[in-house]
Amino acid sequence: MSTMETLSRVRKNLEKEKKYIETFISSGSCETMEDYRLQVGTIRGLDEAQKIITETLSQLDKEEE
């Protein structure tokens, strides 16, 4: 498996985890405001990780051309 394929899989897995947490929040499963903030912070971290992976994939794509 190439680096680009691996990073793409990681990005997809991060998206799945983000959607799971979003469903957790929207279903009312957060019992406290602290829990809610933790979950939102996790989503923000996953978004940032996806952004970094997307930028890396773009750079790798340019290098291959």
Return per-residue pLDDT of the chain as tens, 65 residues.
Answer: 888 899 999 999 999 999 999 999 999 999 999 999 999 999 999 999 999 999 999 998 888 77
Whether the model clears a pTM of 0.75, i.e. scores above it, the answer is yes
pLDDT > 90: what percent of the chain?
85
Share of the chain above pLDDT 70, in %: 100
Q: What is the mean pLDDT of the chain?
A: 94
For residue 38, the model assigns a pLDDT of: 97
Structure tokens at 13: 């897995």
With beta carbons less than 8 A apart as the criterion, state whether 53 and 3 touch.
no
CA distance 57 to 27: 34
Sign for the pseudo-dihedral over CA of 29, 35, 40, 41: negative
57: part of which helix (H) or strand (E)?
A: helix 33-64
Distant-in-sequence, close-in-space partners of 61: CB < 8 Å, separation ≥ 6: 4
